[in-house]
Chain A
Amino acid sequence: GNSVTQMEGPVTLSEEAFLTINCTYTATGYPSLFWYVQYPGEGLQLLLKATKADDKGSNKGFEATYRKETTSFHLEKGSVQVSDSAVYFCALSPLNTGFQKLVFGTGTRLLVSP
Chain B
Amino acid sequence: GAVVSQHPSRVICKSGTSVKIECRSLDFQATTMFWYRQFPKQSLMLMATSNEGSKATYEQGVEKDKFLINHASLTLSTLTVTSAHPEDSSFYICSAEDTPEQFFGPGTRLTVL
Contact = CB atoms under 8 A, between A and B. Distances in A.
Interface of A: 4, 8, 36, 38, 41-46, 89, 98-107
B53 to A, nearest CB: 18
A106 B43 CA distance: 4
Main secondary structure of the interface of A (DSSP, over half): loop
Interface residues of B, number: 22
Interface of B: 1, 4, 32, 34, 41-44, 46, 49, 93, 95, 97, 99-107
Nearest to A101: B46
Contact of B104 (A41, A43, A106): A43
A50 to B, nearest CB: 14
27 contacts: A8-B41, A41-B106, A43-B4, A43-B103, A43-B104, A43-B105, A43-B106, A43-B107, A44-B95, A45-B1, A98-B99, A99-B97, A99-B100, A99-B101, A100-B32, A100-B34, A100-B49, A100-B97, A100-B102, A102-B44, A102-B46, A102-B102, A103-B43, A103-B46, A104-B43, A104-B44, A106-B42
A8 B42 CA distance: 10
A98 B44 contact: no
The 10 closest A-B pairs by CB, nearest first: A43-B104, A44-B104, A104-B44, A104-B43, A43-B106, A43-B105, A99-B102, A98-B100, A106-B43, A99-B101
